[in-house]
């Protein structure tokens, strides 16, 4: 009978250890909410559902608050205040608004104006859902108002001033990445050590998954072949940000041409050299700021800019060919058939 007792004892030990492993273990929790006119998803690794829920709740609130400050379409946002008072007087804003505008100006400077936050007057002329493009006359009037050098930022007084009347800042090309940075800071403050924030296509990751693996991000195929959310490549990230600008997000086709929302600040028309550009860097404000710039510059100049500012980029050009910076090559897996 000794053998039997030993066997049952062993089974008991095995069972208990198997069960105890499954308790108090870090799990992945995620939640999606509509904020900043898009869907915001937060994924966190936490020991308990309660800890995850409260951290996510506060972070969503933080994203929502920031989103309202810089909402281009809301009358009450700080950004609307700046735009309304263009050419008149400086407007006092909160530190986050000031910071994101300053970062936008830096991105504009570094990209030689390929990204320009003052593109607002041109953006307003395009109506993608209703397939409306601006007339030459409208564009000729709006284009002179586009110049980031006419944004005056007073860091000491926390004010922003647009020099000429009619100027408008549109932070659509950088705010979501900045919000992802804010969200990650908020999650860390709530004690979360690992997670992922995705605001539309702007993603910030930090820490590792419970299985110690890196976060895997799929890059959408700019020309979907039917299956929803078909991806063209996947990439593994630790403490990083990734943003993608694509000509498929908001567009209409007219006379065989694709008119999309990534407008060249110099011409006021959509840039045609790329289908999509993904940028990888430490911060979302960098990736989101430069994905548009690189898209507008095209594969050649875009890759050059990426190297200059020290970010990684994956560029799918107009013919569907994939170009990328060297450092990213061993972290990316291109899907079969591409």
Residues in Cβ contact with 174 at an 8 Å cutoff, skipping those fewer than 6 apart: 100, 103, 104, 107, 115, 117, 285, 288, 289
Nearest to 239 by CA among 215, 217, 220: 215
* Length of the chain as a residue count: 338
Among 67, 173, 201, 298, binds other proteins (CB under 8 A): 201
Residue 173 within binding range of other proteins, rule CB under 8 A: no
Near other proteins by CB under 8 A, which window of 61-69, 161-169, 196-204, 303-311? 196-204
Among 75, 136, 229, 330, binds other proteins (CB under 8 A): 229
Near other proteins by CB under 8 A, which window of 5-13, 118-126, 157-165, 258-266? 5-13
Near other proteins by CB under 8 A, which window of 111-119, 203-211, 296-304, 321-329? 203-211
Per-residue string for binding with other proteins, 29-68, x by CB under 8 A? xxxx--------x-x-------------------------
Cα separations (Å) of 89 from 121, 143, 146, 153, 255? 19, 22, 18, 12, 44
Per-residue string for binding with other proteins, 81-120, x by CB under 8 A? ----------------------------------------
Strand positions, DSSP E, 200-273:
202-206, 215-220, 231-237, 240-246, 251-254, 257-260
The tokens for 251 are: 């567009």
Residues in Cβ contact with 4 at an 8 Å cutoff, skipping those fewer than 6 apart: none
Beta carbons within 10 angstroms of residue 143's beta carbon: 16
Among 59, 111, 243, 292, binds other proteins (CB under 8 A): 243
Residue 216 within binding range of other proteins, rule CB under 8 A: yes
Among 58, 92, 234, 323, binds other proteins (CB under 8 A): 234
Quote the CA–CA distance of 258 and 244 in Å, as a whole number.
18
Quote the CA–CA distance of 96 and 338 in Å, as a whole number.
40
Which of residues 10 and 152 has its CB atom nearest to other proteins in the complex? 10
Near other proteins by CB under 8 A, which window of 114-122, 131-139, 160-168, 198-206? 198-206
Alpha-carbon torsion (242, 232, 114, 301), positive or negative: positive
Quote the CA–CA distance of 216 and 75 in Å, as a whole number.
38
Which of residues 168 and 332 has its CB atom nearest to other proteins in the complex? 332
Do 254 and 246 touch, CB atoms closer than 8 A? no
Contacts with other proteins, residue ranges (CB under 8 A)? 1, 3-4, 7, 10-11, 14-15, 18, 21-22, 25, 27-32, 41, 43, 196, 198, 201-203, 205, 209-211, 215-220, 222, 229, 231, 234, 242-244, 246, 248-249, 276, 278
């Amino acid at each position: 009978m000794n053998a039997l007792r030993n066997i049952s004892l062993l089974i008991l030990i095995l069972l208990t250890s198997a069960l105890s492993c499954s308790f108090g273990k870090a799990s992945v929790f995620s939640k999606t909410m509509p904020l900043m006119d898009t869907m915001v998803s937060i994924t966190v690794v936490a020991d308990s559902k309660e800890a995850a829920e409260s951290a996510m709740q506060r972070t969503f609130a933080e994203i929502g608050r920031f989103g309202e400050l810089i909402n281009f379409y809301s009358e009450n946002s700080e950004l609307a205040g700046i735009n309304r008072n263009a050419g008149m007087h400086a407007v006092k804003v909160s530190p986050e608004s000031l910071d994101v505008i300053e970062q936008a100006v830096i991105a504009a400077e570094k990209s030689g104006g390929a990204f320009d936050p003052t593109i607002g007057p041109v953006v307003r002329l395009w109506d993608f859902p209703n397939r409306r493009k601006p007339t030459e006359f409208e564009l000729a009037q709006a284009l002179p108002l586009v110049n980031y050098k006419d944004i005056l930022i007073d860091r000491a007084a926390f004010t922003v001033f647009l020099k000429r009347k009619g100027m408008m800042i549109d932070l659509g090309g950088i705010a979501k990445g900045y919000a992802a940075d804010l969200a990650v800071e908020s999650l860390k403050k709530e004690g979360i050590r690992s997670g992922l924030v995705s605001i539309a296509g702007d993603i910030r990751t930090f820490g590792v998954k419970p299985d110690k693996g890196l976060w895997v991000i799929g890059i959408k195929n700019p020309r979907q072949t039917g299956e929803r959310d078909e991806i063209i490549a996947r990439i593994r990230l630790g403490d990083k940000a990734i943003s993608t600008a694509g000509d498929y997000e908001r567009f209409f086709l007219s006379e065989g041409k694709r008119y999309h929302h990534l407008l060249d600040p110099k011409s006021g028309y959509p840039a045609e050299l790329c289908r999509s550009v993904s940028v990888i860097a430490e911060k979302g404000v960098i990736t989101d700021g430069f994905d548009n710039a690189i898209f507008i510059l095209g594969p050649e100049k875009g890759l050059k800019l990426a190297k200059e500012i020290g970010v990684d980029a994956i560029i799918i050009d107009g013919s569907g060919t994939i170009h990328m910076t060297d450092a990213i090559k061993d972290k990316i897996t291109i899907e079969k058939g591409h």
